[in-house]
A and B are shown apart, each in its own frame.
Chain A
């Protein structure tokens, strides 16, 4: 008996997403995702080595950063990621316009990141926190700006899939491009969650 036919036990995922051993997105995006993860793993290595050599700087460093900016970016990214999840869910139902609206909402929220970052850096500079304020802030600028670059690529990708969705390029049967853009976008979430804890929370 196939229990998935029982409404109460039905999977929240549609049949197209419910195949074991399925690889979402496409091969190209996974090469990109694994490269980004290795890159940031190396950068996190720099963080931990710098922390081991300068424990006092990393103990006091987070106190001067604007926690509100870090939290706002986290909320924007997590909510934008939720929108992309809904966009993929919608395209699987062949609801193209609903999917497009979710992608556009994800882009709108994602654009909030560089905006918040702009005000955060302005606030930092007004408080004397520039790249030469100490090793903690040097690593902080290097990692967060590097993440901003990767997020900008993600935003360009979302813009591309929004245009493709509007042009009816995706359907319930064929939407690996939309999935791939969503996967990359969630990967930037994943990396930011670590950055947030390392620079704003940990001492």
Chain B
């Protein structure tokens, strides 16, 4: 039986989770791991938003709010790696 759109998205999400599991066990701290972790959040979340939540066919404003959440989290992952010192300084209470 040929998988339908929902089955293909599910299989893709499971595959990406497998990649995340492999990284969790073998990944070393650094830029590559940070970028891949941020990318996995962004890609998997977008699949959930567009296909599980069916926002690809819905009001764009609602879809963009969900994208904004995912984008902010993914960006924070990257920024916390490169600008951790700055974040520490601006959140230190003297």
Contact = CB atoms under 8 A, between A and B. Distances in A.
A73 to B, nearest CB: 10
B29 to A, nearest CB: 4
Given A12-B5, A86-B6, A201 B23 contact: yes
B88 A52 contact: yes
Nearest to B17: A74
Nearest to B69: A37
A17 to B, nearest CB: 6
B58 A201 contact: no
Interface stretch (A43-51, A131-139, A142-150, A153-161): A43-51
| B interface, over-half SS | helix
B48 A193 contact: yes
Contacts of B44: 193
Nearest to A82: B10
A18 B73 contact: no
Interface residues of A, number: 54
A78 B17 contact: yes
A197 B41 contact: yes
Given A52-B88, A82-B52, A190-B45, A23 B17 contact: no
A89 B84 CA distance: 45
Interface in B73-92: 73, 76-77, 80, 84-85, 87-88, 91-92
Interface of A: 11-13, 17-24, 30, 34, 37, 41, 44-45, 48-49, 51-53, 55, 59, 62, 67, 70-71, 74-75, 78-79, 81-82, 84-86, 88-89, 182-183, 186-187, 189-190, 193-194, 196-198, 200-203
Given A82-B10, A193-B40, 14 more contacts: A12-B6, A13-B57, A24-B54, A41-B69, A41-B73, A48-B87, A51-B80, A52-B91, A62-B24, A71-B20, A81-B48, A88-B54, A189-B48, A201-B40
Interface of B: 4-7, 9-10, 13-14, 17, 20-21, 23-25, 27-29, 33-34, 37-38, 40-41, 44-45, 48-49, 51-55, 57-60, 62, 65-66, 69-70, 72-73, 76-77, 80, 84-85, 87-88, 91-92
8 contacts: A22-B57, A51-B84, A52-B91, A62-B24, A74-B20, A89-B6, A190-B45, A196-B20
